[in-house]
Structure 1
Amino acid sequence: MNVKTTDSKPELIIEAGRAERQYWQDLWRYRELFYFLAWRDILVRYKQTAIGIAWALIRPFITMIVFTVVFGNLAKLPSEGVPYPILVFSAMLPWQFFSNALSECSNSLIGNANLISKVYFPRLIVPVSAIVVSFVDFMISGIILLGLMAYYAYVPSWRILMLPVFIAIAFAASIGAGLLFASLNVKYRDFRFIVPFITQIGLYISPVGFSSSIVPEQYRLLYSLNPMVGVIDGFRWSILGGDAKLYLPGFALSLGLVLLMLIAGVVYFRKMERTFADVI
């Protein structure tokens, strides 16, 4: 950051490091800022709430109950040989993580406008640190899944060892989509209304309350154009074991779209990053 004096008044110039090629090294240099922002957001999220961190358990639990009643008890949809609550909640985990991360990420730059407009640091730190809050919720919500497995005496198979791979894919999807919407939200404030609509619609068009195996075979590849289909199917495959099957062509398509979204998100964010301090 430099201060240049003109004939009229001092002018504040925010510059990105010593060289553009050092941007990614700057991410490491500013790692303490990343820790601070993530920890601050975690504390603020549940500050002055009556039941605090329990909100991370209540919302997915109630959603699971509603989906179990509607799709499992009333519609009598197949459960792939496992109790329907476990089928639903194994999908609720990645979906809740993605939707929360998208919401937090898209508003992160606006919420830190004062910081962004005053000092230089790699702006990528802000939306990525916001995703950490959603990951904390994800870990807390996992307690419900463990409780359901204990209640139904359900023991996962060796596939559970593959779960970290699908968590990483969920992270990639969250970061890619989050960076895109965070950048767009700075330039077009309409996106603060669009993101809640996307997450609400996405909950019902993604296989959260039902298994993607009920989709007719001829449409399954088309259905996998929703990147979260592959992520959710991967979670179910690793957690449920048994009759749960992974539709490999659809998973490959979803994985390709997640990687494409991640690359597009990073590239577009870096392209727009220079203008954030001016328009925010």
Structure 2
Amino acid sequence: MTTQATPATPAPTAEHRTVITPPGRLHLPAWRELWEAREVLYRFGARDVVLRYRQTAVGVAWVVLQPLASAGVFALVFGAVAGLSSDGVPYIVFSLVGMLAWNLFNGVVSRAAPSLVANQALVSKVFFPRMLVPLSVVLAVLLDFLVGLGLLVVLLVVFGVSPGWGVLATPLWVLLTILVASGLGLAGAAVTVRYRDVNYALPWVLQLALYGTPVAYSLTSVPDDLRWLFLVNPLTWLLEGYRWSLLGFAAPPLWQIAGAVGVSVLVFLGGTLVFSRMERAFADVI
């Protein structure tokens, strides 16, 4: 009589469990949970890029045309008509640098604030780290910035503008801009869930900030008795950093660089705290 061996029973595998714990006293986000769910951020970001340029005649060319047209208008109004100084750089190049930096900031804030309401079906029914929704807009806006930066490089070559070694600091200014814009965007997204007035007030506030920041004109063109108003604006510090790195201007004073780093980190942390504190009520009020 022959015996037949029975197959060995596979060892039980460990179950994957997700434990949801109450927030701590400071309502800090679960950074490990955000990292583990990073694929969600990539998916949201890729979807934004595809939806933005689907069924458009010129597609990604809009990324180049928009800042270039704005820079051209600024060069005509502030350079040719008003006769403001661009500190020795062709005005179209000068204003394009300002528009690229401003569009990076403005794009993240204005698209992050309404992002939760725009995705309310997912927010109210599917469990995932909600913070990834407003943060995902950074990917699409950063792609627009990089395309525009390529156009700027072409213009720098055409007009013979040499940035110098300061160009190596460009990633720093981009990172700081993303941090401060993401912090404001996170806070705006959380507040918008409860108060839809933010959708009406935010474009107006950003428009005022555009004119209150030396985007299209040089800081040296501001009268001495009013210049302090611009120097207390953290966005001015970032713009001066961009112009040092991309146009070869004098390096900003050390206090501006340190202030830009400190304010950007504090604004980002403040935005995450506001978001985390209000996140538990999103599904109930959205």
- Which has the larger Rg? 2
TM class by shorter chain equals 0.7 to 0.9
* Matched-pair contact (CA < 8 Å) for 2:191–2:198: yes
* 1:101 counterpart = 2:96: no
Structure 2, unaligned runs of 5 or more: 1-17, 24-28
CA distance in structure 2 between the partners assigned to 1:107 and 1:224 by the alignment: 30
Q: How many angstroms does 1:205 deviate by?
A: 1.5
Measured after TM superposition, the shift of residue 201 of structure 1 is 2.1
Instruction: Measure the CA separation in 2 of the matches of 1:278 and 1:225.
Output: 39
Does the residue aligned with 1:210 lie in a helix, a strand or coil? coil
**1:26 alignment partner in structure 2:** 33
Q: For residues 163 and 180 of structure 2, what CA distance do their matches in structure 1 show?
A: 25
Partner of 2:129: 122
Question: What percent identity do the matched residue pairs reach?
Answer: 37
Alignment partner of 2:177 out of 170, 181, 194: 170
The offset of 1:103, in angstroms, is 1.2
Q: Which residue of 1 aligns with 2:268?
A: 262
Name the CA distance, whole Å, in 1 between partners of 2:243 and 2:61: 25
1:140 counterpart residue number = 147
Shift of 1:222: 3.3
Q: Distance in 1 between matches of 2:75 and 2:105?
A: 21
1:38 deviates by 0.9
Aligned residue runs from structure 1 range 44-83, under 5 A: 44-83=51-90
- TM-score, with normalisation over the residues of structure 2? 0.86
Displaced runs of 4+ in structure 1, greater than 6 A? none
Distance 1:220 1:158, change over 3 A: same
1:36 lines up with 2:43 in the alignment: yes
Q: How many positions carry a matched residue from both structures?
A: 264
Partner of 1:3: none
Bigger shift: 150-159 or 265-274? 150-159
2:209 is aligned to 202
Cα distance between partner residues in 1 of 2:226 and 2:261: 18
d(CA) in 1 for partners of 2:143, 2:121: 26
Partner residue of 2:95?
Answer: 88
- Does the 8 Å CA contact 2:214/2:230 hold for their aligned counterparts? no
User: Is the 8 Å Cα contact of residues 98 and 170 (structure 1) preserved in structure 2?
Assistant: yes
What's the offset of the Cα at 1:199?
Answer: 2.1
Shift in alpha-carbon separation, 1:206–1:17, aligned structure 2, 3 A: farther
User: What SS does the aligned partner of 1:42 have?
Assistant: helix
Q: Provide Cα deviations, 1:150-209, integer angstroms capped at 9, x if missing partner.
A: 221222201101111111111111111111111111110011111111222222211111
Give the drift of 1:250.
4.5
User: Could you tell me how far 1:143 is from its partner in structure 2?
Assistant: 2.1
Matches within 5 A, 1:145-224: 145-217=152-224, 219-224=226-231
Counterpart CA distance in 1 for 2:157 and 2:87 is 18
Structure 1: stretches of 5+ with no match in the other structure: 1-15
C-alpha separation between the residues in 2 aligned to 1:61 and 1:17? 50
- Relative distance call for 1:89 and 1:79 in structure 2 (3 A) is same
